[in-house]
Amino acid sequence: MRKIPSIRNLLIALTLLATSMPSFAQVRISVAFGPPALPVYEQPLCPGDGYIWTPGYWAWDDDDGDYYWVPGTWVEAPQVGLLWTPGYWTWRGDGFFFNEGYWGPHVGFYGGISYGYGYFGEGYEGGRWDNGRFFYNRSVNNVNVTNIHNVYNTTVINNTTTHSRCIRSSSTCASCPHQPAVAGFRESGQAPGRRHSQAGSL
């Protein structure tokens, strides 16, 4: 008879442990009002081969009770073949929630938000991996061709005229995730983390 309470206590402890683990894709902060519009800024020069642009975003400061700007930066990919999917804010009934960015083999869904510099709401037009090297699209990235020779120039038509900052809900968003974007999240090989650990931010 003593086994039942100990099994029940073990199940309760496991449930508490599982529910207290941080979410992989979403910071568990609910904010009553949305972030400001994305600022327009100049992209700094790419510092070297293998760096990928990770756009800036609005983060929340609990102490100040307000948003603050986290600048975009060039980050060396943690592994050959990985691309950055930016984070984004979304409305979920009782507040705005932030969905963390992440590294993965494909660019996933990032709220349909036009961050610029290759991130125009869906996918990534700023470059591609080819035979273990990252090739930069010069039409959307600030790359010094004297130092970086793996470049190409493909014109990108960006039909987005505003820099949205969040999506309201899946029922009202202009861009909802398609299967490749969802697959990109599921295939993510790197957890979200401190992407701003390298130089080159603005």
Report residue 94's pLDDT band, with 50, 70 and 90 as the boundaries: confident
pLDDT of residue 97 exceeding 60, the answer is: yes
Put residue 20 in one of left, alpha, beta given phi > 0 → left and psi -120 to 50 → alpha.
Answer: alpha
Specify the higher pLDDT residue, 124 or 18. 124
Report residue 11's pLDDT band, with 50, 70 and 90 as the boundaries: low
Specify the higher pLDDT residue, 172 or 145. 145
Per-residue model confidence (pLDDT) at position 157: 78
Per-residue model confidence (pLDDT) at position 21: 36
Look over the chain and give the mean of its residue pLDDT values, rounded to a whole number.
77
Q: Which of 169, 129, 167, 168 is nearest to 150 (CA)?
A: 129
- Enter the tokens of residue 68: 């603050």
Per-residue model confidence (pLDDT) at position 173: 42
Q: Is the sign of the CA dihedral 67, 71, 72, 76 positive or negative?
A: negative
pLDDT of residue 198 exceeding 50, the answer is: no
Specify the higher pLDDT residue, 177 or 24. 177
pLDDT of residue 189 exceeding 70, the answer is: no
What is the tens place of the pLDDT at every residue in 18-40?
A: 433 333 444 557 788 999 999 99
Compute the average pLDDT of residues 169-198. Answer: 45
**Separation in Å, CA 78 to CA 24, 53, 102, 135:** 18, 13, 11, 16
Rounded distance, CA 95 to CA 15, Å? 26
pLDDT of residue 144 exceeding 80, the answer is: yes
pLDDT of residue 55 exceeding 80, the answer is: yes
The pairing of strands 133-137 and 127-130 is antiparallel
pTM: 0.71
What is the DSSP secondary-structure string of 81-135? T-EEE--EEEE-SSSEEEE--EEESS----TT-EEETTEESSS--SEEEETTEEE
In this structure, the chain runs to a length of 202
Q: Which amino acid is at 84?
A: W
What is the tens place of the pLDDT at every residue in 146-166?
A: 999 999 999 887 665 444 455
